Amino acid sequence: MGNAEIIQLAGTCLMPTYARFPVALVRGQGLRVWDADGCQYLDFLAGIAVCNLGHCHPRVVDAIRQQAGRLLHVSNLYHIEPQAELARLLVDHTFADRVFFANSGAEANEGAIKLARKFHKDRGQPGRTQIVSATGSFHGRTLATLTATGQDKVKTGFAPLPPGFSTVPYGDAAALEAAVGRDTAAVLLEPIQGEGGVRVPPDGYLGRVREICDEQGALLVLDEVQTGAGRTGTFLAAERDGVTPDICTLAKGLGGGVAIGALLATEAVSASFGPGTHASTFGGNPLATAAGLAAVKTILEDGILDHCREVGAYLLDRLADLAAGCPRVAAVRGRGLLVGVELAAGESAADRVRALMDRGFLTGTAGDRVLRLAPPLIVERAEIDALLAALAEVL
Ligand SMILES: *Cc1c(COP(=O)(O)O)cnc(C)c1O
């Protein structure tokens, strides 16, 4: 089928939840993807921070092929070799002592909320149930995670929402301090807000949040679904801030393109997820964890993180140069290869995304006025230069 036939078919039977671009992508290799009519694009969105190693990375594809021929699925009633190996790798390279696998970011966050509440209940503090999150945040589309999300647009129409959630302005430690108390189970934050506009909090914010949580006896849950798996140049974004959470969630980039989510926690907190407390049929299945194992090994072993920091700094520098001569750009921000270009008032990021697509570049938005760049971590300077030339044109 060509683009037109696929689009026509989709229109007859899919729920209209997505405002899609009028192309069907059918093949990918590295930074390149092709649509059903054979047009080629350079992918600077990477499935929204999912394909951190580019499309069809050979190590990931090979791991999937081998695992698919051996065992696709067994229940978590049995032990699963790649699941245990991936958990070991995550534990060895993060603050965490233990891991639970889910299938998506929302599901991992849902598990984090459950674990935080259960932890306090187990310690004789059943009144500690409240989850404090931030305005502009995004934590998922399940009922609990959309309630934690600090954006009204994801909540409209879905009332009644579960109780036990409140939000404070992101990046404002004083507001957080005022909101956290004896009824707080956990503070749930993204180290850098992705969907909310690639918002980087002030230096020292996360560290202060950690102190507030400790003073008040609340847990710190970091949602690294978008910032994790190397996206910002360290495996977890919070490493750069020197902050250790009690619980952290991962998903997007963790499976090299395969659906997976993970909940990482310290030993003390993990103890509250005893047998029978939480489960997932597909969570941590052999295929997803074999893919995740290959992806995480590659991210950690192949100098990918160094490369991400290096080209990420180059991208931010070049964007700053471009912004200096362009009144249509209000700000440029980000870390590693999670970058936002905020346009001036009255400008539309979606218009620029369409114009870039016409020039062969896939990019995204994060809110109305922020153009989001989240290319594979293997992106090269020449590809960044090509994007910047096109961006200069469309601006
Ligand atoms: C994408 C995202 C989620 C939701 O992940 P899904 O896999 O779509 O459920 C949660 N938190 C953050 C920070 C995200 O970027």
Ligand 1 pocket test target in 101, 113, 195, 250 with most atoms within 8 Å of CB: 195
Q: Give yes or no: residues 270 and 318 share one domain.
A: no
110 lines ligand 1 (CB under 6 A): no
In ligand 1, the atom with minimum distance to the C-alpha of 251 is 7
Residue 367 lies in a domain: no
116-174 pLDDT, tens digit per residue, is 999 999 999 999 999 999 999 999 999 999 999 999 999 999 999 999 999 999 999 99
104 lines ligand 1 (CB under 6 A): yes
- The encoded tokens of residue 40 equal 């080629």
In ligand 1, the atom with minimum distance to the C-alpha of 140 is 4
Q: Which pLDDT score is estimated for 276?
A: 96
Task: Round to whole Å and give the CA distance between 69 and 152.
Answer: 45
Catalogue the active-site residues: 138, 223, 252
Task: Round to whole Å and give the CA distance between 28 and 57.
Answer: 10
For residue 308, the CA-to-ligand 1 centroid distance in Å is: 21
Q: Are 71 and 217 in contact (CB under 8 A)?
A: no
Residue 296 lies in a domain: yes
For residue 342, the CA-to-ligand 1 centroid distance in Å is: 21
For residue 260, the CA-to-ligand 1 centroid distance in Å is: 11
| Helix, coil or strand: residue 26 | strand
φ, ψ of residue 193 in degrees (nearest 5): -75, 125
| Helix, coil or strand: residue 329 | strand
Q: Give yes or no: residues 137 and 3 share one domain.
A: no
Q: Give yes or no: residues 70 and 131 share one domain.
A: yes
Q: Give yes or no: residues 312 and 167 share one domain.
A: no
Task: Round to whole Å and give the CA distance between 22 and 17.
Answer: 15
Q: Give yes or no: residues 81 and 154 share one domain.
A: yes
- The encoded tokens of residue 385 equal 């230069």
229-245 pLDDT, tens digit per residue, is 999 999 999 999 999 99
Q: Which pLDDT score is estimated for 88?
A: 98
Q: Which of 343, 377, 301, 362 is nearest to 44 (CA)?
A: 362
Whether the per-residue pLDDT at 246 is higher than 90: the answer is yes
Q: Give yes or no: residues 153 and 180 share one domain.
A: yes
Beta strand residue intervals within 130-173, DSSP E: 130-134, 165-168
Q: Are 248 and 279 in contact (CB under 8 A)?
A: no
Q: Give yes or no: residues 311 and 256 share one domain.
A: no
40-80 pLDDT, tens digit per residue, is 999 999 999 999 999 999 999 999 999 999 999 999 999 99
Question: Which residues have CB under 8 Å from 151's CB, separation 6+?
Answer: 135, 136, 137, 138, 195, 196
For range 364-375, the mean pLDDT: 97
Residue 119 lies in a domain: yes
Q: Which pLDDT score is estimated for 23?
A: 97
Residue 363 lies in a domain: no
Q: Are 361 and 390 in contact (CB under 8 A)?
A: yes
Q: Which pLDDT score is estimated for 27?
A: 98
Name 361's bridge partners: 42
CA distances from 177 to 132, 203, 211, 293 (A): 11, 17, 10, 38
- The encoded tokens of residue 282 equal 């597909």
Q: Which pLDDT score is estimated for 302?
A: 84
For the chain, what is the domain count? Answer: 3
Q: Which of 65, 85, 10 is nearest to 297 (CA)?
A: 85
| Helix, coil or strand: residue 336 | coil
For the chain, the average pLDDT equals 98
Residue 75 lies in a domain: yes
Q: Give yes or no: residues 69 and 146 share one domain.
A: yes
Q: Which pLDDT score is estimated for 73?
A: 98
222: which DSSP letter? Answer: E
Domain that holds residue 330: 306-336
Q: Give yes or no: residues 15 and 132 share one domain.
A: no
For range 224-231, the mean pLDDT: 98
26-41 pLDDT, tens digit per residue, is 999 999 999 999 999 9
Residue 52 lies in a domain: no
What DSSP line would sit under 90-108, residue for residue?
HHHHSS-SEEEEESSHHHH
Q: Give yes or no: residues 180 and 295 share one domain.
A: yes
Task: Round to whole Å and give the CA distance between 148 and 301.
Answer: 35
Give 36: exposed, middle or buried? Use CB within 10 Å, 0-12, 13-18, 19+: middle
Q: Which pLDDT score is estimated for 189?
A: 98
* Residue 377 banded pLDDT, cuts 50, 70, 90: very high
Regarding pTM above 0.95, the answer is yes
Q: Are 260 and 292 in contact (CB under 8 A)?
A: yes
Q: Give yes or no: residues 4 and 92 share one domain.
A: no
For range 194-205, the mean pLDDT: 97
Q: Give yes or no: residues 135 and 244 share one domain.
A: yes
Q: Are 342 and 329 in contact (CB under 8 A)?
A: yes
Residue 358 lies in a domain: no
For residue 194, the CA-to-ligand 1 centroid distance in Å is: 9
For range 99-117, the mean pLDDT: 98
| Helix, coil or strand: residue 250 | strand
Please give the angle made by the CA atoms of 165, 170 and 171, to the nearest 5 degrees.
140
254-298 pLDDT, tens digit per residue, is 999 999 999 999 999 999 999 999 999 999 999 999 999 999 999
Q: Are 252 and 107 in contact (CB under 8 A)?
A: no
Residue 390 lies in a domain: no
